[in-house]
Chain A
């Protein structure tokens, strides 16, 4: 697997203090409840970098904002704050044409592979859709054959419809679509969700092999910690829309700095009956985004919380080269 080289390097993707804000109340309901907040911050102050050829794992539970962040990068949801730079060039506030140009270079794999494929189009027509959308003049039959072969399916699949595919096959079609234009960055939103354990590996190995072949950067959004541990070089942990910890995957798994990261890793059940746990590693649930806790937003679930955590929000601070954490008392 290609690893990011040490030292300064041209970043492929850079997010700086990114924010995504959704409007939640409008119209007559807003008039009825004038005091209720009108907006909801799904992503707050998120900064991250993805280098060419690197796999960055964005990890978090439902509602942590990881999908919103991924969609904001390609402009599927507008960001309300911060900057997105792709190959050093800002992509915010641009015209639709500028955004379209960026989307040519960023491939996207969506969460639900079957739902993201139009049910009335054949696989052959679906995987060359990117060429049509971007008006690229190519021999589409040749491209379709090249792509279906690239993801390890036979040419007979080109005539099939999405409902005839298994979950793993639908993911492969998703990979073919995302990689059709040979993008520099691929964003994969939950690439293994809903797949059997013996098939998960197939999809991830395919992505890893294609990455090794063409050197694209990979941003994998997932809640599956055992999987991301194997495929990513760096990871970021999201909680309530904030990146609470980032660092090289191995270092973070070996010695998590944020108590939430530690709890998340400990919560993964181990396939060994001799490693049973007596207590769940994390109590409570993720608070509502509409009602963010004061201070450190994790304090109510944190076993190490002290009064300061209730009042003062910790800043995201570097604790080691390429590692940062937002906690007053990091575990390192």
Chain B
């Protein structure tokens, strides 16, 4: 088996704050193998955004990496210098954000932006432009050859997200990070964008890290899923194993809360009682203990992320008997 495109080991990140250190990520392990779509699912405050910022080297100034490593194509990203980042961010690791206007410049035409990002290539501009048009056509922009000279505000939200995807994939990155790419879109457009990403993955040989809070989307597009809770990876499995045989109580409760999975005649929706633990003042033991219906005395000892079946790991003492 070849090395994964992205390999994160034992990554811990904390934020300095007035209330002390907020331990936003603790001992995170994550592999994104080439050609695979790995999903990260978790609710607000689970550390999804901190993890993505860490992978992109865009952590806030008050963030401190407490330890671990992020290896991308065999190269350590935690110690990468600014010029090194320039060669990685964009050409090698591309991102599609929730709001496409965060990656589109409102005062430059789409053509200018898409030609500009090919600045490393020595090809003539006409060729760069043609490549951009081909990519826009591929992501479903009608009349791309004419519309490429338009500005972002002339496109609808769904079209802007298609353009953002085209720009991200233009340089054929080895890793595409899709950070809640459809959260701002309506359900029919969301289905179209997810279908687009699914069809593009057959053509690009890169891997996709798909971050979402929407379990339905994760089930729709991902090969493997990582569930995060309060800064830790609590479960990691093949998508079928995760949805059909979840082992961590949090995963089970999260799946049970999804209204799409609740029987039609149930009027009161299930919820997870309690609140997230305070990241500045974590008690020892399992982070989910206070909310867990299955908690026992042994949960006072911090559980390790251990394999419960081949390729399936859970951070729960009860999951491995």
B62 near A: Cβ within 8 Å?
no
Indicate with 1 or 0, residue by residue over B240-269, a CB within 8 angstroms of chain A CB atoms. 100100000000011101111110101111
Q: Contact: B264 with A61, CB < 8 Å? A: no
Q: Of residues 264 to 292 in A, which have CB atoms within 8 Å of B's CB atoms?
A: 264, 267-277, 279-283, 285-286
With contacts A197-B213, A282-B188 taken as known, whether A230 is within 8 angstroms of B267 at the C-beta atoms is: yes
With contacts A61-B186, A197-B43, A198-B257 taken as known, whether A269 is within 8 angstroms of B269 at the C-beta atoms is: no
Q: Contact: A270 with B267, CB < 8 Å? A: no
Q: Contact: A205 with B269, CB < 8 Å? A: yes
With contacts A167-B44, A208-B267, A226-B260 taken as known, whether A271 is within 8 angstroms of B255 at the C-beta atoms is: yes
Indicate with 1 or 0, residue by residue over B185-215, a CB within 8 angstroms of chain A CB atoms. 0111111101100000000000000000111
Q: How far is the CA of A47 from the CA of B243 in the complex (A)?
A: 42
What is the distance, in angstroms, from A308's C-beta to the closest C-beta of chain B?
Answer: 24
Q: How far is the CA of A268 from the CA of B158 in the complex (A)?
A: 16
Partner of B266, one of A224, A230, A286: A230
With contacts A198-B254, A205-B269 taken as known, whether A271 is within 8 angstroms of B156 at the C-beta atoms is: no
Residues from chain B with a CB closer than 8 A to the CB of A271 are: 215-216, 218-219, 243, 255, 258, 260-261
Partner of B194, one of A269, A283, A285: A269
Q: Of residues 190 to 205 in A, which have CB atoms within 8 Å of B's CB atoms?
A: 196-202, 204-205
Q: Of residues 213 to 229 in B, which have CB atoms within 8 Å of A's CB atoms?
A: 213-220, 222
B309 near A: Cβ within 8 Å?
no
Indicate with 1 or 0, residue by residue over B140-161, a CB within 8 angstroms of chain A CB atoms. 0000000000000000111100
Q: Contact: B43 with A269, CB < 8 Å? A: no
What is the distance, in angstroms, from B315's C-beta to the closest C-beta of chain A?
Answer: 18
With contacts A205-B271, A230-B264, A277-B191 taken as known, whether A269 is within 8 angstroms of B217 at the C-beta atoms is: yes
With contacts A229-B259, A230-B264 taken as known, whether A270 is within 8 angstroms of B219 at the C-beta atoms is: yes
Q: Which 6 residue pairs of A and B lie closest in terms of their CB atoms, listed nearest first?
A: A269-B216, A201-B269, A226-B259, A61-B186, A196-B43, A198-B272
A62 near B: Cβ within 8 Å?
yes
What is the distance, in angstroms, from B186's C-beta to the closest C-beta of chain A?
Answer: 4
What is the distance, in angstroms, from A60's C-beta to the closest C-beta of chain B?
Answer: 9
A299 near B: Cβ within 8 Å?
no
Q: How far is the CA of A201 from the CA of B157 in the complex (A)?
A: 28
With contacts A201-B270, A201-B271 taken as known, whether A280 is within 8 angstroms of B195 at the C-beta atoms is: yes
B239 near A: Cβ within 8 Å?
yes
Q: Contact: A229 with B264, CB < 8 Å? A: yes
Q: Contact: B269 with A268, CB < 8 Å? A: no
A153 near B: Cβ within 8 Å?
no
Residues of A at the B interface (CB closer than 8 Å) are 1, 61-62, 166-167, 196-202, 204-205, 208-209, 223-227, 229-231, 250, 253, 263-264, 267-277, 279-283, 285-286
Query: Can you list 13 A-B contacts (CB < 8 A)?
Result: A61-B186, A197-B259, A198-B253, A202-B271, A224-B259, A225-B187, A269-B190, A271-B215, A271-B218, A271-B260, A273-B220, A273-B222, A280-B192
What is the distance, in angstroms, from B85's C-beta to the closest C-beta of chain A?
Answer: 32
Q: Contact: B267 with A283, CB < 8 Å? A: no
Q: Contact: A231 with B267, CB < 8 Å? A: yes
Partner of A200, one of B215, B218, B259: B259
Residues of B at the A interface (CB closer than 8 Å) are 43-44, 156-159, 186-192, 194-195, 213-220, 222, 239-240, 243, 253-255, 257-262, 264, 266-272, 275
With contacts A198-B272, A223-B186 taken as known, whether A268 is within 8 angstroms of B260 at the C-beta atoms is: yes
Partner of A280, one of B191, B222, B269: B191
Q: Contact: B191 with A1, CB < 8 Å? A: no
Q: How far is the CA of A276 from the CA of B219 in the complex (A)?
A: 8
Q: How far is the CA of A250 from the CA of B213 in the complex (A)?
A: 27
Residues from chain B with a CB closer than 8 A to the CB of A269 are: 190-191, 194, 214, 216-217, 219-220, 260
Q: Contact: A204 with B188, CB < 8 Å? A: no
Q: How far is the CA of A282 from the CA of B187 in the complex (A)?
A: 10
Q: Contact: B267 with A196, CB < 8 Å? A: no
Residues from chain B with a CB closer than 8 A to the CB of A204 are: 269
What is the distance, in angstroms, from B139's C-beta to the closest C-beta of chain A?
Answer: 13
Q: How far is the CA of A186 from the CA of B272 in the complex (A)?
A: 26
What is the distance, in angstroms, from B189's C-beta to the closest C-beta of chain A?
Answer: 7
Q: Contact: B259 with A196, CB < 8 Å? A: no
What is the distance, in angstroms, from B229's C-beta to the closest C-beta of chain A?
Answer: 11
What is the distance, in angstroms, from A65's C-beta to the closest C-beta of chain B?
Answer: 14
Residues from chain A with a CB closer than 8 A to the CB of B190 are: 267, 269
What is the distance, in angstroms, from A219's C-beta to the closest C-beta of chain B?
Answer: 17
Residues from chain A with a CB closer than 8 A to the CB of B240 are: 273-274
- Chain B residue with Cβ nearest A204: B269
Residues from chain B with a CB closer than 8 A to the CB of A279 are: 195
Q: Contact: A268 with B261, CB < 8 Å? A: no
Q: How far is the CA of A229 from the CA of B257 in the complex (A)?
A: 14
Q: How far is the CA of A197 from the CA of B255 in the complex (A)?
A: 9
What is the distance, in angstroms, from B153's C-beta to the closest C-beta of chain A?
Answer: 14
Q: How far is the CA of A270 from the CA of B159 in the complex (A)?
A: 24
Residues from chain A with a CB closer than 8 A to the CB of B188 are: 61, 263-264, 267, 280-282, 285
